[in-house]
Amino acid sequence: MIPASFDYVRPSTVDEAVQALASAGEDAKVLAGGQSLLPVLRMRLAAPTTLVDLGRVAELRGVREEGDTLVIGAMTTHYDVQRDALVASHAALLKEATDTVADPQIRHRGTLGGAIAHADPAGDLLAPVLALDASLVVAGPSGRRTVPAADFFRDLFTTALAPDELLVEVRVPKHTGWRAHYEKFNRVAQAWSMVAVAVTVRTEAGVIEEARVALTNMGSTPVRASGVEAALVGVQASADSIAAAASHAAEGTNPPVDSNADVEYRRHLARVLTGRAIAAAAGA
C-alpha cells in the first residue's frame, strides 16, 4: 500500500528537529531507522501530517564515556552497538540482546533510540535498558530532561515522550566486569520474542553479589523481576539456588494473550528462561 501524504522535514541538528516537531503539532512522527514506522505508514495504521527524519543529525550517533556512565546516541544503529568496544566492556547485556534483534539488514538500519521510543513490549532492547538502570535524555522546546528507564515506559507503545520531544541519548551506568545473558524464546528465527529474559550479574568467588533481571513481553511494558533479584543476592551460583530464584520470575506480571501463548504458558516460559539466563550469566 501507499502511505497517506505528509510533509517531509530533514533537520541537521537536534534543535532543528525539536523546532520541526513543535511546529508540526501532535500529528508529527519521528523517523529514526524506520524499521517499525515505515510498515505502519504503508498499511496506513498511522497518517502523520509531518515526518521528521533524523538521518542527518550526526550528534545523535556514537558511543562515548562520561566518567562512570556510557552515553549512546539515540541514532546509533544496532550494528554499531553490537560492535562497540565500550558497550562490550561496560554494558555487555545490551550487546547480548542486540545480537538477537531481527537480521543483519535490520540491524544495519534500525537504531537503539528508535526501538526504545517505539516501546513495543515484545522488542528485545527495552528489558536490557531497564535492567541496566539506564536513563533516557529527552529534548524538547523547554530544553533537555532525563527520565529513568523505570519511568519512561508507560504502556503499550507509550512512553514519557511528549509529541514535541525526541529521545537523544541513552545513558547507562557502567557495569564493568558484570556478566550477562539474554535468553529469548520465539517460534521462528528473527521473530519477536514470545518471552525473553535479560540478566546481568556481578559475582565474586562464585557468589552472586549483585543481580539485575528484566522480562520482555510479560506485560504492556518491560518488567523488572525484583523477586528474582532479591533471591539471587548473596547466594552461591548453584543449580538449586538459581532454580529457587527463577521460581519468582512471573510474580507481578500481566502477560498478553495471543495466538502464540496464553498467560500461564508465558509465566512458565518466564520461569524457565530466567533459570537458563541466570545460569549462563553466572557461569553455573
pLDDT given for residue 187 in this prediction: 83
Grid cell at residue 78? 544496532
pLDDT tens-digit map of 134-191? 999 999 999 999 999 999 999 999 999 999 999 999 999 999 999 999 999 998 876 7
Q: Three cell numbers at 60? A: 545523535
Mean pLDDT for the chain overall: 96
What does DSSP say about strands 50-53 and 7-9: parallel, antiparallel, or unpaired? parallel
Model confidence pLDDT, tens digit, residues 190-229 = 678 999 999 999 999 999 999 999 999 999 999 999 999 9
Residue 16's nearest CA partner among 139, 181, 192, 127 is 139
What Rg do the C-alpha atoms of the chain give, in angstroms? 19
112 pLDDT tier (thresholds 50, 70, 90) = very high
77-108 per-position pLDDT tens digit: 999 999 999 999 999 999 999 999 999 999 99
Predicted confidence band of residue 25 (pLDDT cuts 50, 70, 90): confident
Average pLDDT value for residue range 109-130 = 97
SS3 label, residue 21: helix
User: Domains, the chain, ranges and CATH?
Assistant: 7-53 (3.30.43.10), 58-173 (3.30.465.10), 193-282 (3.30.390.50)
Residues 6+ apart with CB under 8 A from 8: 50, 51, 53
Q: What is the pLDDT of residues 51-84, one digit of tens each?
A: 999 999 999 999 999 999 999 999 999 999 999 9
Q: What integer pLDDT is reported at residue 87 of this predicted model? A: 98
Residue 71: predicted pLDDT: 98
Is residue 213 within 8 Å of residue 129, measured between CB atoms? no
- Rounded Cα gap, residues 217 and 256, in angstroms: 7
- Predicted local confidence at residue 190, as pLDDT: 65
Confidence check: pLDDT of 242 > 90: yes
Contact assessment for residue 54 and residue 32, using Cβ atoms and an 8 Å cutoff: yes
Specify whether the CB–CB gap between 51 and 7 falls below 8 A: yes
SS3 226: helix
H-run or E-run covering 65: strand 63-66
Handedness of CA 208, 153, 11, 78 (dihedral sign): positive
Higher pLDDT, 243 or 1: 243
- Residue 235 CB partners (closer than 8 Å, separation 6+): 207, 208, 241, 245
Separation of alpha carbons 54 and 248, rounded Å? 41
Q: Which one-letter DSSP state was computed for residue 2? A: P
**Binning pLDDT at 50, 70 and 90, where does residue 38 land?**
confident
Above 90 in pLDDT, residue 230? Answer: yes
pTM over 0.85: yes
d(CA 228, CA 205): 20
